[in-house]
Copies of this chain bind each other. A is one copy, B any other.
Amino acid sequence: MHFASDNWAGAHPAIADNLARRNGGFVKANGGSDFDLQVEQTFRDIFETDVAVHYVGTGTAANALGLSAVARPGGVVLCHSEAHIRVDECGAPEFFAAGTRLESVDGELGRFDAASLETAIGLIEDGGLNAGQVQAVSVSQLTEAGTAYDLDTIGAIADVAHGHGVPLHMDGARFANAVVALGCTPAEMSWKRGVDIVSFGGTKNGCWCAEAVLVFNPDHGRQMDYLRKRAGHIASKARFVSAQFEAYFADGLWLDLASHANRMGARVAGIIAARNRFRLAWQPQGNEVFAVGPKEAVDALAEKGAQFSHWQPPRAERHLVGEDEAMIRLVASFATTDADVAALEVALAG
Protein backbone atom coordinates (compact mmCIF):
# COMPACT_ATOMS: atom_id res chain seq x y z
CA MET A 1 0.00 0.00 0.00
CA HIS A 2 2.44 2.64 -1.26
CA PHE A 3 0.73 5.98 -1.23
CA ALA A 4 3.45 8.03 0.45
CA SER A 5 4.49 9.93 -2.62
CA ASP A 6 4.85 9.56 -6.37
CA ASN A 7 8.63 9.44 -6.12
CA TRP A 8 8.90 6.21 -4.15
CA ALA A 9 8.66 4.17 -7.33
CA GLY A 10 11.65 3.66 -9.59
CA ALA A 11 11.55 4.36 -13.32
CA HIS A 12 8.97 2.99 -15.73
CA PRO A 13 10.43 -0.05 -17.55
CA ALA A 14 10.24 1.63 -20.94
CA ILE A 15 12.30 4.51 -19.59
CA ALA A 16 14.79 2.24 -17.84
CA ASP A 17 15.16 0.20 -21.04
CA ASN A 18 15.81 3.28 -23.11
CA LEU A 19 18.53 4.39 -20.76
CA ALA A 20 20.28 1.09 -21.40
CA ARG A 21 19.65 1.40 -25.14
CA ARG A 22 21.22 4.85 -25.29
CA ASN A 23 24.23 3.79 -23.22
CA GLY A 24 26.65 2.80 -25.97
CA GLY A 25 29.18 4.87 -27.81
CA PHE A 26 30.60 8.32 -27.24
CA VAL A 27 28.54 11.47 -27.09
CA LYS A 28 29.52 15.08 -26.57
CA ALA A 29 29.40 15.94 -22.87
CA ASN A 30 27.38 18.65 -21.14
CA GLY A 31 24.50 18.56 -23.61
CA GLY A 32 24.24 19.77 -27.17
CA SER A 33 24.89 16.45 -28.89
CA ASP A 34 22.77 15.46 -31.85
CA PHE A 35 20.81 13.16 -29.61
CA ASP A 36 20.20 15.88 -27.06
CA LEU A 37 19.05 18.23 -29.80
CA GLN A 38 16.70 15.60 -31.17
CA VAL A 39 15.00 15.21 -27.78
CA GLU A 40 14.85 18.97 -27.44
CA GLN A 41 13.00 19.01 -30.74
CA THR A 42 10.48 16.57 -29.29
CA PHE A 43 9.76 19.11 -26.56
CA ARG A 44 9.10 21.68 -29.28
CA ASP A 45 6.77 19.34 -31.10
CA ILE A 46 4.83 18.55 -27.96
CA PHE A 47 4.58 22.19 -26.91
CA GLU A 48 3.94 23.36 -30.50
CA THR A 49 6.39 26.22 -30.16
CA ASP A 50 10.06 27.12 -30.11
CA VAL A 51 10.61 26.47 -26.42
CA ALA A 52 14.11 26.43 -24.86
CA VAL A 53 14.76 23.30 -22.78
CA HIS A 54 17.22 23.34 -19.87
CA TYR A 55 17.76 20.12 -17.97
CA VAL A 56 18.39 20.37 -14.23
CA GLY A 57 18.86 17.87 -11.44
CA THR A 58 15.67 18.22 -9.41
CA GLY A 59 12.31 19.91 -9.30
CA THR A 60 13.57 22.24 -6.61
CA ALA A 61 16.42 23.27 -8.89
CA ALA A 62 13.99 23.79 -11.76
CA ASN A 63 11.86 26.15 -9.71
CA ALA A 64 14.76 28.01 -8.18
CA LEU A 65 16.64 28.40 -11.46
CA GLY A 66 13.55 29.35 -13.42
CA LEU A 67 12.76 32.09 -10.93
CA SER A 68 16.35 33.25 -10.63
CA ALA A 69 16.49 33.74 -14.40
CA VAL A 70 14.18 36.72 -13.90
CA ALA A 71 15.63 37.85 -10.57
CA ARG A 72 15.82 41.49 -9.56
CA PRO A 73 17.35 42.97 -6.43
CA GLY A 74 14.70 43.23 -3.76
CA GLY A 75 12.61 40.89 -5.88
CA VAL A 76 9.30 39.51 -4.69
CA VAL A 77 7.66 36.40 -6.12
CA LEU A 78 3.93 36.12 -5.55
CA CYS A 79 2.72 32.60 -4.94
CA HIS A 80 0.12 30.71 -2.94
CA SER A 81 0.69 30.60 0.83
CA GLU A 82 1.15 26.85 0.64
CA ALA A 83 3.30 26.85 -2.49
CA HIS A 84 6.06 24.27 -2.56
CA ILE A 85 8.55 26.99 -3.53
CA ARG A 86 7.59 28.98 -0.43
CA VAL A 87 7.43 26.33 2.27
CA ASP A 88 8.98 23.11 0.99
CA GLU A 89 12.22 23.89 -0.79
CA CYS A 90 14.45 24.83 2.13
CA GLY A 91 14.92 28.33 0.85
CA ALA A 92 16.15 27.33 -2.61
CA PRO A 93 14.36 30.09 -4.56
CA GLU A 94 15.63 32.64 -2.05
CA PHE A 95 19.15 31.24 -2.22
CA PHE A 96 19.45 31.05 -5.99
CA ALA A 97 18.58 34.71 -6.33
CA ALA A 98 20.54 35.79 -3.26
CA GLY A 99 17.45 36.96 -1.51
CA THR A 100 14.09 36.69 -3.30
CA ARG A 101 11.09 37.09 -1.02
CA LEU A 102 8.18 34.70 -1.63
CA GLU A 103 5.03 36.55 -0.70
CA SER A 104 1.84 34.68 0.02
CA VAL A 105 -1.37 35.11 -1.88
CA ASP A 106 -4.22 33.39 -0.12
CA GLY A 107 -6.89 31.25 -1.71
CA GLU A 108 -8.81 28.05 -1.15
CA LEU A 109 -7.63 24.60 -2.18
CA GLY A 110 -4.15 25.68 -3.16
CA ARG A 111 -5.26 28.23 -5.72
CA PHE A 112 -5.42 32.00 -5.76
CA ASP A 113 -7.33 34.04 -8.29
CA ALA A 114 -6.49 37.06 -10.43
CA ALA A 115 -8.23 39.52 -8.13
CA SER A 116 -6.28 38.42 -5.05
CA LEU A 117 -3.09 38.60 -7.06
CA GLU A 118 -3.89 42.12 -8.23
CA THR A 119 -4.42 43.21 -4.63
CA ALA A 120 -1.20 41.57 -3.47
CA ILE A 121 0.87 43.16 -6.22
CA GLY A 122 -0.74 46.50 -5.51
CA LEU A 123 0.38 46.36 -1.88
CA ILE A 124 3.97 45.84 -2.94
CA GLU A 125 3.90 48.52 -5.60
CA ASP A 126 2.38 50.98 -3.14
CA GLY A 127 5.20 50.23 -0.74
CA GLY A 128 7.80 51.85 -2.96
CA LEU A 129 11.47 51.07 -2.74
CA ASN A 130 11.21 49.62 0.77
CA ALA A 131 8.81 46.95 -0.37
CA GLY A 132 11.12 45.76 -3.13
CA GLN A 133 9.89 45.03 -6.63
CA VAL A 134 7.67 42.34 -8.02
CA GLN A 135 9.79 39.82 -9.90
CA ALA A 136 7.42 37.05 -10.95
CA VAL A 137 4.19 35.26 -10.22
CA SER A 138 4.21 31.52 -9.68
CA VAL A 139 1.47 28.92 -9.77
CA SER A 140 1.68 25.18 -9.08
CA GLN A 141 -0.10 22.86 -11.46
CA LEU A 142 -1.26 20.54 -9.87
CA THR A 143 -1.39 22.66 -6.77
CA GLU A 144 -0.17 21.56 -3.35
CA ALA A 145 -3.77 20.60 -2.61
CA GLY A 146 -3.87 18.29 -5.60
CA THR A 147 -6.24 20.61 -7.44
CA ALA A 148 -5.78 22.13 -10.88
CA TYR A 149 -6.09 25.71 -12.05
CA ASP A 150 -8.52 25.83 -14.97
CA LEU A 151 -7.26 27.41 -18.18
CA ASP A 152 -9.24 30.62 -17.82
CA THR A 153 -7.84 31.26 -14.36
CA ILE A 154 -4.31 30.68 -15.61
CA GLY A 155 -4.95 33.17 -18.39
CA ALA A 156 -6.39 35.74 -16.00
CA ILE A 157 -3.44 35.36 -13.64
CA ALA A 158 -1.03 35.73 -16.56
CA ASP A 159 -2.81 38.90 -17.62
CA VAL A 160 -2.34 40.41 -14.17
CA ALA A 161 1.33 39.41 -14.08
CA HIS A 162 2.02 40.76 -17.55
CA GLY A 163 0.05 43.90 -16.77
CA HIS A 164 2.60 44.57 -14.07
CA GLY A 165 5.51 43.68 -16.34
CA VAL A 166 6.49 40.39 -14.73
CA PRO A 167 6.47 36.81 -16.02
CA LEU A 168 4.31 33.89 -14.93
CA HIS A 169 6.12 30.78 -13.74
CA MET A 170 4.47 27.40 -13.38
CA ASP A 171 5.75 24.73 -11.01
CA GLY A 172 4.87 21.71 -13.11
CA ALA A 173 6.13 18.94 -10.85
CA ARG A 174 2.86 17.20 -11.80
CA PHE A 175 2.42 18.88 -15.17
CA ALA A 176 1.34 15.65 -16.87
CA ASN A 177 -1.27 14.88 -14.23
CA ALA A 178 -2.72 18.34 -14.71
CA VAL A 179 -2.80 18.12 -18.51
CA VAL A 180 -4.67 14.85 -18.23
CA ALA A 181 -7.00 16.22 -15.57
CA LEU A 182 -7.94 19.23 -17.70
CA GLY A 183 -8.03 17.31 -20.98
CA CYS A 184 -6.06 20.04 -22.71
CA THR A 185 -2.79 20.22 -24.61
CA PRO A 186 0.55 21.15 -23.05
CA ALA A 187 0.52 24.34 -25.10
CA GLU A 188 -2.94 25.28 -23.88
CA MET A 189 -1.89 24.86 -20.27
CA SER A 190 1.25 26.93 -20.71
CA TRP A 191 2.27 29.56 -23.26
CA LYS A 192 -1.12 29.80 -24.96
CA ARG A 193 -2.46 31.05 -21.63
CA GLY A 194 0.50 33.28 -20.91
CA VAL A 195 2.80 31.04 -18.89
CA ASP A 196 6.41 32.15 -19.51
CA ILE A 197 8.49 29.58 -17.64
CA VAL A 198 7.62 26.00 -16.69
CA SER A 199 9.35 23.65 -14.29
CA PHE A 200 8.63 20.48 -16.22
CA GLY A 201 8.79 17.42 -14.03
CA GLY A 202 9.32 13.90 -15.29
CA THR A 203 10.62 12.22 -12.15
CA LYS A 204 7.35 11.86 -10.26
CA ASN A 205 5.68 10.45 -13.36
CA GLY A 206 8.01 7.58 -14.19
CA CYS A 207 11.51 8.87 -14.86
CA TRP A 208 14.58 8.27 -12.71
CA CYS A 209 15.76 11.81 -12.67
CA ALA A 210 14.49 14.04 -15.46
CA GLU A 211 13.53 17.64 -14.87
CA ALA A 212 13.70 20.62 -17.17
CA VAL A 213 13.15 24.34 -17.11
CA LEU A 214 11.15 25.33 -20.16
CA VAL A 215 11.50 28.95 -21.23
CA PHE A 216 9.09 30.31 -23.81
CA ASN A 217 10.39 33.87 -23.95
CA PRO A 218 14.03 33.96 -25.12
CA ASP A 219 14.65 37.09 -23.04
CA HIS A 220 14.11 35.10 -19.88
CA GLY A 221 16.53 32.38 -20.84
CA ARG A 222 19.65 34.28 -21.89
CA GLN A 223 21.55 33.63 -18.67
CA MET A 224 20.16 30.17 -18.02
CA ASP A 225 23.24 28.19 -19.02
CA TYR A 226 25.43 30.27 -16.73
CA LEU A 227 22.89 29.98 -13.93
CA ARG A 228 22.77 26.21 -14.31
CA LYS A 229 26.51 25.77 -14.56
CA ARG A 230 27.32 27.86 -11.48
CA ALA A 231 24.69 25.89 -9.58
CA GLY A 232 26.18 22.55 -10.58
CA HIS A 233 23.12 21.66 -12.62
CA ILE A 234 24.64 20.82 -15.97
CA ALA A 235 25.02 17.05 -16.02
CA SER A 236 28.14 16.05 -17.92
CA LYS A 237 26.51 12.93 -19.36
CA ALA A 238 23.39 14.85 -20.35
CA ARG A 239 22.18 12.05 -22.58
CA PHE A 240 21.11 10.13 -19.51
CA VAL A 241 18.38 12.78 -19.15
CA SER A 242 17.63 12.92 -22.86
CA ALA A 243 17.24 9.16 -22.96
CA GLN A 244 14.65 9.31 -20.22
CA PHE A 245 12.66 12.06 -21.90
CA GLU A 246 12.88 10.29 -25.26
CA ALA A 247 11.09 7.28 -23.85
CA TYR A 248 8.84 9.43 -21.70
CA PHE A 249 7.37 11.17 -24.73
CA ALA A 250 7.41 8.20 -27.12
CA ASP A 251 3.89 7.13 -28.12
CA GLY A 252 2.41 9.41 -25.47
CA LEU A 253 3.76 7.31 -22.61
CA TRP A 254 3.90 10.30 -20.30
CA LEU A 255 0.18 10.97 -20.65
CA ASP A 256 -0.66 7.30 -20.27
CA LEU A 257 1.28 7.16 -17.04
CA ALA A 258 -0.40 10.29 -15.71
CA SER A 259 -3.81 8.96 -16.73
CA HIS A 260 -3.12 5.79 -14.82
CA ALA A 261 -2.03 7.73 -11.74
CA ASN A 262 -5.09 9.98 -11.89
CA ARG A 263 -7.42 7.03 -12.33
CA MET A 264 -5.86 5.28 -9.39
CA GLY A 265 -6.20 8.49 -7.40
CA ALA A 266 -9.87 8.64 -8.30
CA ARG A 267 -10.35 5.07 -7.14
CA VAL A 268 -8.67 5.85 -3.85
CA ALA A 269 -10.91 8.87 -3.49
CA GLY A 270 -13.95 6.74 -4.19
CA ILE A 271 -12.94 4.30 -1.49
CA ILE A 272 -12.36 7.10 1.00
CA ALA A 273 -15.69 8.70 0.17
CA ALA A 274 -17.40 5.40 0.78
CA ARG A 275 -15.87 4.84 4.22
CA ASN A 276 -17.58 6.06 7.33
CA ARG A 277 -14.52 6.77 9.47
CA PHE A 278 -12.75 8.89 6.80
CA ARG A 279 -14.05 11.54 4.43
CA LEU A 280 -12.51 13.37 1.51
CA ALA A 281 -11.13 16.75 2.57
CA TRP A 282 -12.02 17.94 -0.92
CA GLN A 283 -12.55 16.47 -4.34
CA PRO A 284 -9.19 15.52 -5.93
CA GLN A 285 -8.46 16.36 -9.55
CA GLY A 286 -5.29 14.41 -10.12
CA ASN A 287 -3.37 11.69 -8.33
CA GLU A 288 -3.35 13.14 -4.83
CA VAL A 289 -6.10 12.42 -2.34
CA PHE A 290 -6.55 14.35 0.88
CA ALA A 291 -8.65 12.75 3.57
CA VAL A 292 -9.76 13.57 7.09
CA GLY A 293 -10.44 11.09 9.81
CA PRO A 294 -10.16 10.45 13.54
CA LYS A 295 -6.58 10.38 14.75
CA GLU A 296 -7.00 6.83 15.99
CA ALA A 297 -8.23 5.73 12.58
CA VAL A 298 -5.17 7.32 11.03
CA ASP A 299 -2.93 5.43 13.42
CA ALA A 300 -4.80 2.21 12.72
CA LEU A 301 -4.37 2.67 8.99
CA ALA A 302 -0.64 3.11 9.40
CA GLU A 303 -0.41 0.04 11.58
CA LYS A 304 -2.02 -1.96 8.84
CA GLY A 305 0.91 -1.05 6.62
CA ALA A 306 -0.56 1.72 4.53
CA GLN A 307 2.02 4.33 3.59
CA PHE A 308 0.79 7.90 3.36
CA SER A 309 1.72 11.33 4.66
CA HIS A 310 0.37 13.17 7.65
CA TRP A 311 -0.62 16.51 6.23
CA GLN A 312 -0.76 19.92 7.79
CA PRO A 313 -4.15 21.34 6.77
CA PRO A 314 -3.62 24.47 4.64
CA ARG A 315 -4.42 27.72 6.41
CA ALA A 316 -7.62 28.22 4.41
CA GLU A 317 -8.81 24.68 5.12
CA ARG A 318 -8.12 24.30 8.82
CA HIS A 319 -11.82 24.32 9.61
CA LEU A 320 -12.14 21.02 7.77
CA VAL A 321 -10.34 19.12 10.49
CA GLY A 322 -12.02 18.54 13.81
CA GLU A 323 -10.32 18.48 17.18
CA ASP A 324 -9.55 14.78 17.38
CA GLU A 325 -9.06 14.44 13.68
CA ALA A 326 -6.11 14.58 11.33
CA MET A 327 -5.56 15.14 7.65
CA ILE A 328 -3.63 12.67 5.52
CA ARG A 329 -2.45 12.62 1.94
CA LEU A 330 -2.40 9.53 -0.28
CA VAL A 331 -0.67 9.72 -3.63
CA ALA A 332 -1.11 7.35 -6.54
CA SER A 333 1.52 7.07 -9.24
CA PHE A 334 2.26 5.42 -12.55
CA ALA A 335 3.30 2.40 -10.49
CA THR A 336 0.24 2.06 -8.32
CA THR A 337 -1.29 -1.38 -8.78
CA ASP A 338 -4.78 -2.75 -8.47
CA ALA A 339 -3.48 -4.83 -5.60
CA ASP A 340 -2.35 -1.75 -3.75
CA VAL A 341 -5.74 -0.13 -4.10
CA ALA A 342 -7.51 -3.29 -3.09
CA ALA A 343 -5.33 -3.63 -0.03
CA LEU A 344 -6.07 -0.06 0.91
CA GLU A 345 -9.77 -0.73 0.60
CA VAL A 346 -9.46 -3.65 2.96
CA ALA A 347 -7.36 -1.69 5.40
CA LEU A 348 -9.88 1.12 5.47
CA ALA A 349 -12.76 -1.23 5.83
CA GLY A 350 -11.25 -2.82 8.91
> Which A residues are within 8 Å of any B CB, using their own CB?
2, 4-5, 7-11, 13, 16-17, 19-20, 22-30, 56-62, 64-65, 72-76, 86-92, 94-96, 98-102, 104, 123, 126-127, 129-133, 203-204, 208-209, 223, 225-227, 229-237, 239-240, 307, 312, 335
Cα–Cα distance between A235 and B236 once the two chains are bound (Å)? 16
Number of copies: 4
Quick check: A91 and B64 within 8 Å, CB to CB?
no
Chain B residue numbers with a CB within 8 Å of A234 are 58, 60, 129
Quick check: B60 and A58 within 8 Å, CB to CB?
no
In the assembled complex, 10 residue pairs joining A and B whose CB atoms fall closer than 8 Å, in A order, are: A8-B26, A10-B23, A16-B23, A59-B232, A65-B232, A90-B129, A92-B99, A94-B99, A129-B234, A232-B233
Quick check: B60 and A232 within 8 Å, CB to CB?
yes
Chain B residue numbers with a CB within 8 Å of A30 are 7, 129
- Which of A28, A91, A94 has the most chain B CB atoms closer than 10 A to its own CB? A91
Chain B residue numbers with a CB within 8 Å of A73 are 90-91, 95, 223, 226-227, 230
- Pick from B57, B59, B96, B239: contact of A57, CB under 8 Å: B57
Quick check: B91 and A230 within 8 Å, CB to CB?
yes
Quick check: B94 and A233 within 8 Å, CB to CB?
no
Quick check: A98 and B101 within 8 Å, CB to CB?
no
